[in-house]
Amino acid sequence: MTAGALWWQMGKYFFKPDERTGDTIKIIGNSAHHLLHVLRLRIGHEVVFCNGQNIDYCAKLVSASEKPASLTFNILSESPSNTEAVTPITLYQGLPKGDKIDWIVEKCTEAGISKIIQVYTARTVVKVKDSAKKTERLARISESAAAQSMRGTIPAVLPPISFAKALEDIDDSNLHLIAFEREQTRSIKSVISNLKPSPIALWVGPEGGFEECEAQALEKKGAIPISLGPRILRTETAGLVALTQILCIWD
């Protein structure tokens, strides 16, 4: 296996700080099992690892054990990931029905989102029963998508919060954009094309969108309503479309 083949054949694997000692990375658990038993990694093979802070490491497998799966790698080289968006972009996502949030997390991670904050809005119809467990599962989806798309960081997925709490926590240093179906003329391009890249927060409602009073409350906080085009998009599509529009202009 050559280093050049790593990027498309094996993807990337993230490791935790306590899994590295000096120039050695030791992997156990699911990642080790996948590398050993699914990808058939053998001594001398090389893998790309990432520390989740935009640094990639090319490492060679030097020892392996099967029960439990445990792999030890020696770091050969390191380099910047160079795959992150030009500016952090946060998605405030109104909680959708069913498993749509899984798709949103996966696809927005692939596209370059930095953080996803789940929000209960007036038109949210679901109630997350085990928030911690579900958020943990979404974090795994985020990590898997980040690895597959060769990201340098893993987007954080926060537990659901109320709209009032999200409104209270608005960071004034970010440019806040509201995907609002009643806005007909103001596009993302018209808002940001003449601006230098800076942190952005995207607000997307659940099925049915935001209520008028919610959009007004966001506007009072300085948020700008924008149109994503002449067609009405589903909640699971809107954030991804807005994200890609921003990246096409700035990235």
Taking alpha carbons only, the member of 164, 178, 155 closest to residue 92 is 178
Q: How many Å apart are CA 195 and CA 35, to the nearest integer?
A: 44
Look up residue 225 and give its two tokens: 């309503």
The yes-or-no verdict on residue 7 having pLDDT over 70 is no
Using 50, 70 and 90 to split pLDDT, how confident is the model at 110? very high
- Out of 8-12, 153-157, 219-223, least confident range: 8-12
The yes-or-no verdict on residue 9 having pLDDT over 70 is no
Look up residue 54 and give its two tokens: 């935009």
Query: Of all residues in the chain, what percent carry a pLDDT higher than 70?
Result: 96
Q: How many Å apart are CA 59 and CA 56, to the nearest integer?
A: 10
Using 50, 70 and 90 to split pLDDT, how confident is the model at 8? very low
pLDDT at residue 67, as a whole number: 82
pLDDT at residue 224, as a whole number: 96
Using 50, 70 and 90 to split pLDDT, how confident is the model at 12? confident
Q: How many Å apart are CA 204 and CA 215, to the nearest integer?
A: 10
Can you give the three-state secondary structure of 54-98, one letter per residue? CEEEEEEEEEEECCCCEEEEEEEEEEECCCCCCCCEEEEEECCCC
The yes-or-no verdict on residue 3 having pLDDT over 60 is no
List % helix, strand, coil for the chain (3-state, nearest 5).
35, 30, 40
| Strand runs labelled E in the chain | 12-14, 20-21, 24-28, 46-50, 55-65, 70-80, 89-94, 115-120, 156-162, 175-179, 200-204, 224-226
The yes-or-no verdict on residue 2 having pLDDT over 80 is no
Taking alpha carbons only, the member of 202, 177, 204, 238 closest to residue 94 is 204
For the chain, domains (ranges, CATH) are 3-80 (2.40.240.20), 89-250 (3.40.1280.10)
pLDDT at residue 10, as a whole number: 64
pLDDT, mean of residues 70-99: 95
pLDDT at residue 13, as a whole number: 92
Residue type for position 213: C
Question: What's the predicted TM-score (pTM) here?
Answer: 0.90
What Å distances lie between residue 246 and 49, 74, 118, 120, 205, CA to CA? 28, 39, 21, 25, 18
Look up residue 220 and give its two tokens: 């009072």
pLDDT at residue 158, as a whole number: 96
